Structure 1
Amino acid sequence: MKTILKSAGLAALGAASLQAADNARPSPTGDKPYSLSASLRGFYDDNYTSSGGNLRTDSFGFEVRPSASLNWNAEQTQIGASYTYSLKYYEDRVNNRADHAHLFDISLNHEFTENYRLTLYDNLAVAQEGMVLDPAQRIQALRVNGNNVRNIAGADFRADISRQIALEPGYSFTLYDYQQKGANSYSARLDRHEHMFKLGLRWKEIAARTDGILGYQFGMTDYTSNDTLGGLSPSVRDTRSHYYFAGVDHTLNPQVTLSLRAGAQTVDYRGTQSTRTSPYVDLNGTYRFSERSSAQLGYKLSRIATDQFLPVGGQLTVDQYAHFLYGRLSHSVGDLTLGAGLQWQYGKYRGGLLNSQAEDILSADLSALYRINNYLYAEAGYVFEMLHDHGFDTVAVPNRDFHRNIIYLGLKATY
């Protein structure tokens, strides 16, 4: 999971609703190991409920967004932490006019010797938007009210056992807990625990500036809600996944890096669905074309969870096979930083009433940050989001299609 967060984090978190202009957030440097910032933005959201048809509702509003980050470096240990709070006030709402979101990150890197390194990390989100709660591939397609929790924690270890061979074991645990309870609620659909056990073998310098990778991962997904889903227990969607892959990490030059993992994913289902083996791909590349400018592009293909469930013949929709394409560009010229991001996901469902049905989720964002002085910035941006299904039964799944536009303008103070 940490690899996914590294490769897709900018595309997913950077485009999340009004989070789009944080690509130039100051980071601690020099003698000051911390940074503080606060943004005040006015915005217009033409569909803040992510609804289709006549249910679309628009609103003006404002966002207050303070944040803090810390980097601490010792001879063999580095610790990083950050926290962001977001309050969004919607003028159009009658009740619950404010949304509250929390993002917390902490990581520790420790080098025992030149040959043994450990990384620990934790990423916590409390939010309503799917792009915040799903930092890589999109599972929650629509906005969901409430204090919905997603937490990812894990550990990665690297042992260089020879000049050419390194072992890379790891483990991650992800928890989802939605506030909405009851039969067919989001708690019943998506509350779950995800375990991922990882083992990689790295063959260093199999070619010039290229490492070869052989890997295996074992994943466990257990649905935890006590509420019913389509009249059944959500646990019938529990899965056990095996990933087998090979790949390369290649440094073309100091500015360009490429990473590829390709193989197969075998999923065993607890319910009545038969075991399914599918191609698995994780590809990403980064181009740093100046000190403060970079471009990133990636693609991922795998089976993931879904918020759809509609039963037929005693079977639920169990998962989706999803193509996920993402990109992000950040470019600084003098005091101006421009950003652009794009995400596209095409998922095909398995099981239930929606078996073999598919939908697209597209999101894009543009942002601009202008430095007025060392402590004050002006920022502006635009976010677009769209969901389109391919032939859903509109009676069974009403108003699933939607599109959404957000524009914002504000000021950001830093220290």
Structure 2
Amino acid sequence: MKKIIASASLAALGAAGLQAAYAPGLSPLEKSKLWSVSGLVRGFYDDNPTDSVRSQKQDSWGLEVSPSLAVNVALDQTLIGFNYVYDLRFYDARPRNDADHTHQFKLNLNHTISERYKLEVSDSLDYVEEPDLSTGIAARTLRTDQPYLHNFGRLAFRAELTPLLGLEASYQNDYWDFAEHGSGSLSALLDRDEHLGVLKARWQALPNTVGLLSYKFGIVDHTSKDSTAANDPVLSPITDPTRRDTTTHTVTVGADQSFTSQLTGHVEVGAQFTDYPNRLAVDPESTVSPYVDAYTTWTYNPGCYLRLGIMHKRNATDVAFQPVSATPTLDQESTGIYGAVNHRITPKVTGSLIGQFQHSTFKGGLDDGRVELLGTLGVNCSYQVNTFISADAGYNYDRLDSEIGRSFTRNRIYFGLRATY
């Protein structure tokens, strides 16, 4: 699944981030130059920069500065891309920590070994405070007071065995390391190493239809040595983070469909079998849940597109113990629905709308069966002043409705200039 929803929560992205996510290869500017640099300066207003509950909101004006560098090397059979973005957001009136510093590195290598064999290698390293909604499902839905490190790497090999049958084998690794340590900290709850291996068969059933059959094997290893219970600083068999480790087996069937040259769709449905190898004796040994990954893209005019998608799966959670809990929450089952519209109003004016909704149900512990609902919405309008400079403005809205007492709303507006060379 292409990661198109970078998050309505990240005002720095706006329409530019959305467009970059959809770009099929290199842009004309990237093709004409080996490298490009850009700079962003924005003013913004944030009515809840700490994601506090509604009764404790404190608003702030601020300034955002974000330089970036992109390098793209296009060879006969190989495409190499590197991108670095630094983002500084200064808050005039935030109660704690008046500045956020974000670093994002991305590296991609696509190599065509032959007409039948292709290799893809990618890695991204993020140092951020805001939640990561890029996969459509978030384990943490709140901003963190201290930054965290997230590294995502992927290696994929594609082979065309016959004109009708293809095979893809891939491995991906998600590594999370939170700066907040101590009992009940984000490090105790979410420091983890996730592994996912995928085998996928592709069958050209019809000229415009490709059948899919896949098997996924996943491992989640929690790596912290801190207690998961805030009121129990002693690491015990009950509060050991590894109690929440999981192994998963996922089997799916699906299809890639080209309805027209402008409208395409993808769907995978199946079952996810989850085991808890280090569970407590009172906790369930395993569980079975549905798995869904589906999306469609409609490119209705040059520079204009609509994309809708849905994902359902089990995932890690930042919830473990309530003060009187005897056993931990193990994970959560989530459904994420997302959408994006990009419309070129005139040759120089582009509008975009992105949104995401997530429904999560906790499994295990005192919060078993309780629900959280997360919604994000972002609206952006950009004006291309000339080849190198654009101006934009936008609005973002986030809302969390939680049955465990951490509901919040957040409104942001922003306006600024971007220069690219």
What TM-score range do you get, normalising by the shorter chain? over 0.9
1:293 aligns with 2:330: no
Report the Cα distance in structure 1 between the residues aligned to 2:188 and 2:325, rounded to whole angstroms: 19
Report the Cα distance in structure 2 between the residues aligned to 1:20 and 1:137, rounded to whole angstroms: 20
Check whether the contact 1:339–1:368 (CA below 8 A) recurs between aligned residues: yes
Question: What is the Cα deviation at residue 381 of structure 1?
Answer: 0.4
Aligned to 2:248: 241
1:322-361, aligned counterparts within 5 Å? Answer: 322-332=334-344, 333-361=346-374
Aligned to 2:236: none
Change (3 A) 1:129 1:135: farther
Residue deviations 1:351-390, cap 9 Å, x none?
011100111000000001101111111110000000002x
The one of 245, 249, 262 aligned to 1:255: 262
Aligned to 1:106: 107
Report the Cα distance in structure 1 between the residues aligned to 2:53 and 2:8, rounded to whole angstroms: 25
Check whether the contact 1:18–1:383 (CA below 8 A) recurs between aligned residues: no
Quick one: percent identity of the two aligned structures?
34
1:41-190, aligned counterparts within 5 Å? Answer: 41-93=42-94, 95-131=96-132, 134-190=134-190
Aligned to 2:275: 268
The TM-score, its normalising length taken from structure 2, stands at 0.92
Change (3 A) 1:14 1:80: farther
Residue deviations 1:231-288, cap 9 Å, x none?
4111000000000000101111111110000000000012132310111110011111
Look up the equivalent residue of 1:355 and give its one-letter code.
D
Secondary structure at 2:12 match in 1: helix
1:212 aligns with 2:211: yes
Question: What is the Cα deviation at residue 310 of structure 1?
Answer: 1.7
Check whether the contact 1:366–1:381 (CA below 8 A) recurs between aligned residues: yes
Question: What is the Cα deviation at residue 70 of structure 1?
Answer: 2.1
Question: What is the Cα deviation at residue 94 of structure 1?
Answer: 5.5
Check whether the contact 1:248–1:260 (CA below 8 A) recurs between aligned residues: yes
The one of 384, 398, 409 aligned to 1:403: 409
Question: What is the Cα deviation at residue 14 of structure 1?
Answer: 5.7
Secondary structure at 2:136 match in 1: coil
Look up the equivalent residue of 1:131 and give its one-letter code.
D
Report the Cα distance in structure 2 between the residues aligned to 1:135 and 1:59, rounded to whole angstroms: 29
Check whether the contact 2:51–2:143 (CA below 8 A) recurs between aligned residues: yes
Count the aligned residue pairs.
400
Secondary structure at 1:12 match in 2: coil
Secondary structure at 1:308 match in 2: coil
Report the Cα distance in structure 1 between the residues aligned to 2:111 and 2:168, rounded to whole angstroms: 15
Report the Cα distance in structure 2 between the residues aligned to 1:53 and 1:298, rounded to whole angstroms: 30
The TM-score, its normalising length taken from structure 1, stands at 0.93
Check whether the contact 2:82–2:106 (CA below 8 A) recurs between aligned residues: yes
Aligned to 1:18: 12
Report the Cα distance in structure 1 between the residues aligned to 2:132 and 2:378, rounded to whole angstroms: 12
Aligned to 1:279: 290
Secondary structure at 2:90 match in 1: strand
Question: What is the Cα deviation at residue 20 of structure 1?
Answer: 2.1
Report the Cα distance in structure 2 between the residues aligned to 1:241 and 1:347, rounded to whole angstroms: 18
Question: What is the Cα deviation at residue 73 of structure 1?
Answer: 1.0
**Superposition CA RMSD, Å:** 1.6
Change (3 A) 1:379 1:82: same
Secondary structure at 1:131 match in 2: coil
The one of 328, 338, 353 aligned to 1:316: 328
The one of 361, 368, 382 aligned to 2:395: 382
| 5+ long unaligned stretches in structure 1 | none
Secondary structure at 2:5 match in 1: helix
